[in-house]
Structure 1
Amino acid sequence: SAPWSVLCYYAEEISLRVPLQVVTAPIANWSEHLLSSLSLPNPLCQEVPNPPPDYYTCQFRTNKLERFLGSEDKDTFFKTTQRHQVLYEILARTPYGCVKKGEVGIDRLISEQVFTAAYPLHELPNPPVPKHSLGLRQILHQYWSKWSCWRRYQPLDHIREYFGEKIALYFAWIGFYTGWLLPASLIGTLIFLVGLWLVATDIPAKEVCESGDTFIMCPLCNICSAWNYSSICNTYKAGLLFDNGGTVFFSVFMSLWAVTFLEYWKRTCAALSHRWDCSDFQDIEERPRPEFTAMAPMTMRNPVTGAEEPYFPEKKRFNRTVTGCMVIIIMATLTDFCSQAGRIASLSGSVLNLIVILLLSRVYITLAHILTRWEMHRTQTKYEDMFILKVFIFQFVNFYSSPVYIAFFKGRFVGYPGNYNTLFGVRNEDCGVGGCLIELAQELLVIMVGKQLINNIQEFISPKVKSWWQKKKMHPRLKEKKDKALDEVHTEEELSPWEADYQLLVCEGLFNEYLEMVLQFGFITIFVAACPLAPLFALINNWVEIRLDAQKFVTEYRRPVVERAQDIGIWFPILQFITHMAVLSNAFLIAFTSSFVPRLYYRYTRDSTLRGYVNFTLATSPQNYSHQYHNTSCRYRGFRDEKGEHLPEYFHLLAIRLSFVIIFEHLVFFIGRLIDMVVPDIPEEVEMKIKREHYMAKEALAENQVQYLRLLTPQPQSDSPLVELNEISDETDPTNDC
């Protein structure tokens, strides 16, 4: 650790917050409040030892040291994570060469492979001890990363104490998101069960199954043959599981669920960032990235610090950004075309499509890295934001292009018998025998569940394989050390702590974890009208995901450098974008892809029991087409007469569908805006704590000002207090040695 005077100096420099007074109010979340008010036991609660206390805090000032809680013990006044921050700040600021060329800091040395790694040490594993004597790492291993903790609250304060605010906020977010998936999955499962009941009672389903040879359907492709509509009896019934009136309610519910989820996350995030002393955190002057300083073509004086720093002209960066945008558009178009072309050629089923998507995702991440590095962003935050944005755009197109094609384009531009539309000489693809919605549900389940399953298997196996390989690479060095020491046995316990931690994996950060959850959020909101079971599969996956991530951070990764954060960063606006897209997507899915609007129209204009509905939705092929099939007319889905012209019902339905889209999205957006206005972003109790904290900080400052004025007042009977003050100042300010 650093000397006390250095700790004090840098604590002031990086605006560390230190305790003034313990907050006596108990910490509880909404589910605990609800269950306690109903006098019900809480199955999610667990007694985690040594809970970190909550404090009123303010920014550290050396001249106010005696006002801070615990200032009399210099060994424990600064927490371990705060000491790590100070040490990393010293290493990051220390020059090793020409400052103008950016030869400063440990990160640059690591990027140039002068050092292989720099990391804080994990706490050592302890022998069995009483619960109250467990260290933070042992507590997290015992009460968080074990599979038996899947239904327990996460010890977020312990996570923050050991890993820092940025990682703790990720686990807080995924835990909050998983909790909100519970009502969504319950209602989605209920809607699915309603579909099971409709299978047995639906009149059109009975008509299809009992139609016999009544409806001879036109071929679906140029090499296909005519088929009997009654042959898809089971497929038609399966479609009712996903295409029924309940999906409309569920779509409205999930759209409002997404809006409300984000609104209440803002409140939870505000409470956590205040509790963890990050609500006022702003990295005002972030250091340049090592890659930027190494490759910048020129230097310029920093207007804030006045120092000469590496510089890259904004005009060149703008040109490179525009070029990168063009690459993104080309890749997105290529992905969409490949997806459609594969389906036209009937080469890719859902499983093959998933494999292609996962392979392309690797390519896109590599391409995004190359483009973002080429743009030469100065700071790590800006670099990460632009990288995340590029990867999200790539993956959005990569994962969602196939479902979007099925939902909104497939079967829309087919034409009619005798006048089929073509693309490059190939007839446009029509929906399958069961319709497009059941195809969409199948595609969503395969891509979403398959991706989650593959990712979880990979997250479980990959760290163990990498760890084995890391230890294998370390083995020759350990053997050489053993031979030098003439030891007969060299066990892992005899390794020094830094060697033991070096055998662990490099912490890969949170990018992949956030990306996986954000893409999942898109699946359960954008296309939920086609698959009400999506939230249930997401819930099951997240229970597994939290445990896998916890095990990686506690036992398989090197301890990361603590990073402060007050929110989840650029991921929140991305979630807001997905929420808005979900409202529009569900509106068009219900109006144009599902059978909800045609059924409703038929119920109110023809027959409320839906008898004859199947015949209503099928058109008859023109006479010139019937002659090609031995003068036998065939049927196809559509609202056309025997000449191929649109019937009045087509235009009536089109008007109703467009009206439904407008009403649906306006209603949901209005309710969402109302929720945003009614629910404050910061809870009232948090606002009171913030005001209380500001008041206490002002009182501490005022009292110190009075003491300072007393020290300045000459006292004839006293030795000069001013000299004592100067001595303290010199002792605690390391800059005097420069």
Structure 2
Amino acid sequence: MRRLLSKSDPPDLEFQPLVVIEFAKHAKEETREWLVKKIMDKKKDGGSQLLIKPLVISNDEEFIYIVGGSAKRLLLGAEAVGLVKECIDGSMKPFIYNNRKEYKDWTEDGDDFLSMAECQYIIKYELDNLRAQDEKNIPGYPNSKLYPGKSIFRRLQTSGIMIQVFPLHDKEELKRLRHQWYLRIKLAFQPIDQIQHYFGDTLGLYFAFLEYFTMALIPMALIGIPYYFFAWEDYDKYVIFATFNLVWSTVILEVWKRLSSVMTYRWGSLIMKRQFEEPRPGFHGVLGINPVTGRKEPIYSSFKRQLRIYLVSVPFVCVCLYLASYVMMIYFDLEHWALAYHQEQQSTFSSLILYVPSIIYAVVIEIMNRIYKIAAELLTSWENHRLESSYQNHLVLKVLVFNIVNCFSSLFYIAFVMCDMKLLRQSLATLLITSQILNQFVEALLPYWLQKRSSRKIKKKVKSLNVDTDYTLLEQIHLEKDMDTYLGTFDDYLELFLLFGYVSLFSCVYPLAAIFAVLNNLTEMYSDALKMCRVYKRPFSQPSANIGVWMLAFETMGIIAVVTNCTLLGMSSQVSGIFEDSKRDLILTVAAIEHALLALKFILAFVIPDKPYDIQVKLDRLEFESLEALKKNQQMKLSSESLTDDDDAMNS
């Protein structure tokens, strides 16, 4: 047993632990010492100029290090990553260290100017940009090659030498956030700014969108209740509800764009300049030169990637879609059997049997969605996309196509082929309720229970260590390193996307869909808050100006909703009764209405600006000031060169 990070360490080695690095048990001492030196070296020598020291190493031979940084180093890092902060005059500007006194909340030493999440983001940025120079391979591992300019941390992780890098929780701040967020059951908005301050923009935007979507569903729910109870069998009365549905699905997305731009401007991420995107950690290929940066990095033929996509990925997705359709037909066979059994028995038990096929199908859908997502991740990784954004776009496309077919194909078949609105209502209700229960259990309750059991064992293990160290920090690190890693907001947005689809596509047939969606979102807020605070490791903060590709997904679903609702309107007896003599006129009329509504949808999207006028003015003013500053610098440079030439002429 070895003693490290003692309470008696010299004061110059003390710093706030921000990030934890865990090496594999087989990691060689030579490798660890080399990396520690690289992290502590000055920037001019190719290092990160951060602070790092090892933690207690237990009998399990765990190699754990904690990383931090001096206040000045982190402030200079804030300037390097382009963090945007509020100035004294109320404007938002990129942080410049030399102008630090111009910013709001600046104190004399600047220790509290940056949040813990921002400091951790800066450290992650510096560690990710720790690059190989003259090294040909990782010290101690001759087979693990290094190329000039290649990220050292990414190479260590892909080689299995480093297990994980994660940011630590701030226990006091997290305790206050939990108390405001979910420990008090109350009718109030979520503390979005506090969530963003602690977890960063990406999660702040997700919880803001979750709250906004819930509020936007309330009008649909309030209108849906009387329609459901006073038009139980008269589906023709849903014409008005379907029309409202079309307007609702368009307006809420446009309003969200404006609200999100206001939030992200206040957070500083709306005007934060994007760094040049580096290759993904899993990207591989022959060593070459990037034509943009001039750095050495792996090069992979885009033609080979396209072959993999169109010859392997596309056929794979098609086969999965066929499988989903085949499972759907089995479900209809079960429905037919249950209906025949009920007609024969006419008992309470047989009436309950009518819901069994839908419940089984809902469970199968959830299982297939999760299995397919794992396969889609492996396949998208095999396609070898260079950029993380490209990888995410292809993954989202694959998953959305399958989920739309898997979750909605049976509903479309019931509505437009079988024309059985009663079965459509029953299937939609069963899918909604079953999927919500499964998601809440699998995503939050089960992981929380498992984590509670694990934490009790870890606390006993830490207390058994006979070492001179800070037990509070030691226990915290051991607890958090064994927590699950939060893999991002993908699954969370996907769940909201499917709910949006159920409501916007078929709520005119089953108006209570909005009610179930509201109830789901209310429980989702608390379960997601629980899992972020108690189940998962703290994720690194990530600047985000919007919800990204998911906005396009929601807008696409809105277009599909227009087509679906227009078709349902055309099938109603109210509309079809007008065109009893000519089905052709009915089809043409419905198509004309559909095109008119789509045109209205695009006009609304064009007329309603994505950013409020005052935010756009502030952005334009900042751009103007940046151009003026650039011109001034160029003029000063030219004047300096002119004076130098004059001095040279006089001396000659």
What's 1:312 paired with? 300
Matched residues in 2 for 1:65 and 1:248: separation? Answer: 60
What's 1:400 paired with? 408
What's 1:51 paired with? none
Deviations 1:1-46 (A, max 9, x none): 32355334433332122332253xxxxxxxxxxxxxxxxxxxxxxx
What's 1:18 paired with? 85
Deviations 1:337-395 (A, max 9, x none): 33124424646821121122122112211210121011001122221221121111111
What's 1:532 paired with? 511
Q: Tell me, yes or no, if the aligned pair for 2:462 and 2:475 is still in contact at 8 Å.
A: no
Q: Tell me, yes or no, if the aligned pair for 1:145 and 1:554 is still in contact at 8 Å.
A: no
What's 1:390 paired with? 398
Q: Tell me, yes or no, if the aligned pair for 1:64 and 1:701 is still in contact at 8 Å.
A: no
What's 2:162 paired with? 115
Deviation at 1:266, TM superposition (A): 1.0
Residue 188 (str. 1) matches residue 204 (str. 2): no
User: What is the one-letter code of the residue matched to 1:314?
Assistant: S
What's 1:93 paired with? 129
What's 2:327 paired with? 338
**More RCO (CA 8 Å, sep 6+):** 1
Alpha-carbon distance change, 145 to 695 in structure 1, aligned in 2, over 3 angstroms: farther
661-670 or 370-379, larger mean C-alpha shift: 661-670
Residue 278 (str. 1) matches residue 269 (str. 2): yes
Matched residues in 2 for 1:188 and 1:678: separation? Answer: 29
Secondary structure of the residue that 1:58 maps to in structure 2? strand
Matched residues in 1 for 2:641 and 2:101: separation? Answer: 18
Alpha-carbon distance change, 108 to 190 in structure 1, aligned in 2, over 3 angstroms: farther
> What does residue range 255-654 of structure 1 map to in structure 2 within 5 Å?
255-292=246-283, 296-322=284-310, 323-344=312-333, 346=336, 349-410=357-418, 436-468=420-452, 470-471=454-455, 474=458, 477-478=461-462, 482-485=464-467, 493=472, 495-592=474-571, 594-598=572-576, 649=580, 652=581, 654=583
Deviation at 1:244, TM superposition (A): 2.8
What's 1:244 paired with? 236
Q: Tell me, yes or no, if the aligned pair for 2:271 and 2:619 is still in contact at 8 Å.
A: no
Alpha-carbon distance change, 704 to 529 in structure 1, aligned in 2, over 3 angstroms: same
Alpha-carbon distance change, 164 to 340 in structure 1, aligned in 2, over 3 angstroms: same
Q: Tell me, yes or no, if the aligned pair for 1:256 and 1:671 is still in contact at 8 Å.
A: no
Q: Tell me, yes or no, if the aligned pair for 1:507 and 1:560 is still in contact at 8 Å.
A: yes
Residue 61 (str. 1) matches residue 102 (str. 2): no
62-71 or 510-519, larger mean C-alpha shift: 62-71
Gaps of 5+ in 1: 24-55, 126-134, 197-238, 411-434, 602-648, 715-738
Secondary structure of the residue that 1:118 maps to in structure 2? strand
Deviations 1:85-142 (A, max 9, x none): 21111211224635428862434433433233222211124xxxxxxxxx3x233211
Deviations 1:574-603 (A, max 9, x none): 1111000001011112223x44435556xx
Alpha-carbon distance change, 408 to 138 in structure 1, aligned in 2, over 3 angstroms: same
Pick from 655, 663, 667 the counterpart of residue 596 of structure 2: 667
Deviation at 1:450, TM superposition (A): 1.4
Alpha-carbon distance change, 578 to 695 in structure 1, aligned in 2, over 3 angstroms: same
Gaps of 5+ in 2: 1-67, 133-137, 139-144, 338-355, 644-652
Alpha-carbon distance change, 518 to 477 in structure 1, aligned in 2, over 3 angstroms: same
Matched residues in 2 for 1:74 and 1:706: separation? Answer: 33
Alpha-carbon distance change, 76 to 692 in structure 1, aligned in 2, over 3 angstroms: farther
Matched residues in 2 for 1:486 and 1:2: separation? Answer: 24
Q: Tell me, yes or no, if the aligned pair for 1:21 and 1:57 is still in contact at 8 Å.
A: no
Alpha-carbon distance change, 342 to 185 in structure 1, aligned in 2, over 3 angstroms: closer
TM normalised by structure 2 equals: 0.76
Matched residues in 2 for 1:256 and 1:147: separation? Answer: 36
Matched residues in 2 for 1:694 and 1:101: separation? Answer: 36
User: What is the one-letter code of the residue matched to 1:290?
Assistant: P
Matched residues in 2 for 1:84 and 1:711: separation? Answer: 40
Pick from 182, 193, 197 the counterpart of residue 145 of structure 1: 182
Matched residues in 1 for 2:604 and 2:276: separation? Answer: 36
Alpha-carbon distance change, 596 to 139 in structure 1, aligned in 2, over 3 angstroms: farther
Secondary structure of the residue that 1:148 maps to in structure 2? coil
Q: Tell me, yes or no, if the aligned pair for 2:257 and 2:611 is still in contact at 8 Å.
A: yes
Q: Tell me, yes or no, if the aligned pair for 1:528 and 1:586 is still in contact at 8 Å.
A: no
Deviation at 1:468, TM superposition (A): 3.5
Pick from 117, 123, 129 the counterpart of residue 81 of structure 1: 117
Deviation at 1:173, TM superposition (A): 0.8
Q: Tell me, yes or no, if the aligned pair for 1:185 and 1:535 is still in contact at 8 Å.
A: yes
Matched residues in 2 for 1:156 and 1:474: separation? Answer: 32
Alpha-carbon distance change, 511 to 661 in structure 1, aligned in 2, over 3 angstroms: same
Deviations 1:455-491 (A, max 9, x none): 1233342222331454377468536xx243499xx9x
What's 2:6 paired with? none
Alpha-carbon distance change, 692 to 297 in structure 1, aligned in 2, over 3 angstroms: closer
Matched residues in 2 for 1:598 and 1:188: separation? Answer: 23
TM normalised by structure 1 equals: 0.68
Secondary structure of the residue that 1:670 maps to in structure 2? helix
> What does residue range 123-142 of structure 1 map to in structure 2 within 5 Å?
123-125=170-172, 135=173, 137-142=174-179
Deviations 1:686-718 (A, max 9, x none): 22343455577789889999999999999xxxx
What's 2:26 paired with? none
Matched residues in 1 for 2:639 and 2:304: separation? Answer: 58
Q: Tell me, yes or no, if the aligned pair for 2:444 and 2:527 is still in contact at 8 Å.
A: yes
Alpha-carbon distance change, 698 to 282 in structure 1, aligned in 2, over 3 angstroms: closer
Residue 156 (str. 1) matches residue 192 (str. 2): yes
Alpha-carbon distance change, 483 to 83 in structure 1, aligned in 2, over 3 angstroms: closer
What's 1:34 paired with? none
Deviations 1:306-344 (A, max 9, x none): 111012210110011112012112211221133124424
User: What is the one-letter code of the residue matched to 2:515?
Assistant: L
Q: Tell me, yes or no, if the aligned pair for 1:587 and 1:660 is still in contact at 8 Å.
A: no
Q: Tell me, yes or no, if the aligned pair for 1:169 and 1:567 is still in contact at 8 Å.
A: yes
Secondary structure of the residue that 2:282 maps to in structure 1? helix
Matched residues in 1 for 2:370 and 2:514: separation? Answer: 26
Deviations 1:499-535 (A, max 9, x none): 2432433223211111100011000011222211111
Secondary structure of the residue that 1:18 maps to in structure 2? strand
Secondary structure of the residue that 2:160 maps to in structure 1? coil
Matched residues in 2 for 1:282 and 1:462: separation? Answer: 40
7-16 or 701-710, larger mean C-alpha shift: 701-710
Matched residues in 2 for 1:387 and 1:159: separation? Answer: 27
User: What is the one-letter code of the residue matched to 1:451?
Assistant: S
Alpha-carbon distance change, 297 to 708 in structure 1, aligned in 2, over 3 angstroms: closer
Q: What percent of counterpart residues are identical?
A: 27
